[in-house]
Structure 1
Amino acid sequence: MLDREGFRPNVGIILLNANNQVWWGKRVREHSWQFPQGGIKYGESPEQAMFRELEEETGLLPEHVKIIGRTRDWLRYEVPDHFIKREIRGHYRGQKQIWFLLRMIGRDCDVNLRASNHPEFDAWRWHEYWVPLDVVIEFKRGVYQLALQELSRYINRNDNSGGNRHRHTRPPAKLENKAGEPQKTEQEEHK
């Protein structure tokens, strides 16, 4: 299911523990790390897709998490042609994502990377909120930075998880494009 511009609707999930660390998964048989994410199926709301993807990729159920916030708008990234199957090149451009910020209220032992028949991850860990984006595949880095920045405003605000409220650091400097110029956020581009 693609929109008119060739973007597939998708959800991304940033899962926090009580120490405001993020859940970070290692892709199966790869050396790249990422947050859980996945496509929105026809007829699903972004929230329904988020809970389905969360269970498929981490084994966590709705009772293991609490929704803290979500991005206001779609965040988009384009996929380079060499990553796109030949039969859909020219139609498919990338993903548009709604990102959710969740608080883990379950236990670490509730995580089950083998919850589906097609696991996405073969390892996971908790990491400081501002994860090192250099381990994320290059074309997703800008969206990750935008999602982390937008959702950071929800941390410790109206969140009664009872966990240790340790301060998260400032976001890293803006990413640069290939020409070495700062990348603009979607909000800056529309001004």
Structure 2
Amino acid sequence: MIDVDGYRPNVGIVLVNDEGRLFWARRISRDGWQFPQGGMRSDETPLEAMYRELEEETGLGAGHVQVLASTPGWLRYRLPGRCVRHHQRPTCIGQKQVWFLLRLLESERAVRLDASDKPEFDLWRWVDFWYPAKHVVSFKRGVYERALRHFAPVVESRLQVRLEAPAGTTRRDDGCAAA
């Protein structure tokens, strides 16, 4: 499903533990690390797609997590030209994503990367809150920074964790919709 502007509707998941550290996973058979994310089906709401993707990619269900917040609209990124499949119609030029901040309620032993028939990740770890914004593939960096800026005040207030913003990062609440 591609919208009229060429963007694929998608959801992104930022999973946080009680120490304010984030779930960071390596794509199977690749060196790229990222947050769980995935496309929305035409009959799904962003929340429904998020729970489906969460279970497919991490093995976690609704009872394992608490939704703390979501972005108040779509965050977009464009694919680099080398990644655009110009021969496909409609042509997808990027993704538009609603991001969700989830708190892990269970032990990390509940995470199962092999929960689906086609696992997307082969390794995961907890990382410092701002780490993903500097270490994700460059074309996703802006979206990661915006999502984390939205979620930082929620993590600090709900988990009572102080997050040190990296140099050059503006920390402000951009109107994140708390769930």
Q: Which runs of 5 or more residues in structure 2 are unaligned?
A: 170-179
Please point out which of 161, 168, 176 is paired with 1:173. 168
- After TM superposition, give the deviation of residue 172 of structure 1 in Å: 4.4
- After TM superposition, give the deviation of residue 78 of structure 1 in Å: 0.4
Query: Percent of aligned positions with the same letter in both sequences?
Result: 44
The TM-score with structure 1 as length reference comes to 0.83
Separation of aligned partners in 2, 1:135 and 1:8: 23
The alignment status of 1:10 with 2:10, answered yes or no, reads yes
- After TM superposition, give the deviation of residue 3 of structure 1 in Å: 1.2
Indicate the residue corresponding to 1:98 in structure 2: 98
Contact 1:12–1:38 (CA<8 Å) still a contact in 2? yes
Contact 1:74–1:97 (CA<8 Å) still a contact in 2? yes
Q: Which runs of 5 or more residues in structure 1 are unaligned?
A: 175-191
Indicate the residue corresponding to 2:24 in structure 1: 24
Give 3-state SS (helix, strand or coil) of 1:155's partner.
Answer: helix
Compare CA radii of gyration and give the structure with the larger one. 1
Contact 2:156–2:162 (CA<8 Å) still a contact in 1? no
- After TM superposition, give the deviation of residue 148 of structure 1 in Å: 0.5
After superposition, the C-alpha distances for 1:54-96 in whole angstroms (9 at most, x for unaligned) are 0000000000000000001100000112112342277211000
Indicate the residue corresponding to 2:44 in structure 1: 44
Indicate the residue corresponding to 2:177 in structure 1: none
The total of aligned residue pairs comes to 172
Change (3 A) 1:68 1:117: same
Separation of aligned partners in 2, 1:143 and 1:60: 24
Indicate the residue corresponding to 1:57 in structure 2: 57
Give 3-state SS (helix, strand or coil) of 1:73's partner.
Answer: coil
Separation of aligned partners in 2, 1:90 and 1:42: 15
CA RMSD of aligned residues (A): 2.1
In structure 1, give the amino acid aligned to 2:74: W
Indicate the residue corresponding to 1:125 in structure 2: 125
- After TM superposition, give the deviation of residue 152 of structure 1 in Å: 1.2
Separation of aligned partners in 1, 2:57 and 2:22: 15
1:127-166 alignment to 2 at 5 Å?
Answer: 127-157=127-157, 159=158, 165-166=160-161
Give 3-state SS (helix, strand or coil) of 2:123's partner.
Answer: strand
- After TM superposition, give the deviation of residue 135 of structure 1 in Å: 2.8
The TM-score with structure 2 as length reference comes to 0.89
Contact 2:12–2:100 (CA<8 Å) still a contact in 1? yes
After superposition, the C-alpha distances for 1:110-133 in whole angstroms (9 at most, x for unaligned) are 000001111111000001111143
- After TM superposition, give the deviation of residue 149 of structure 1 in Å: 0.5
In structure 1, give the amino acid aligned to 2:37: Q
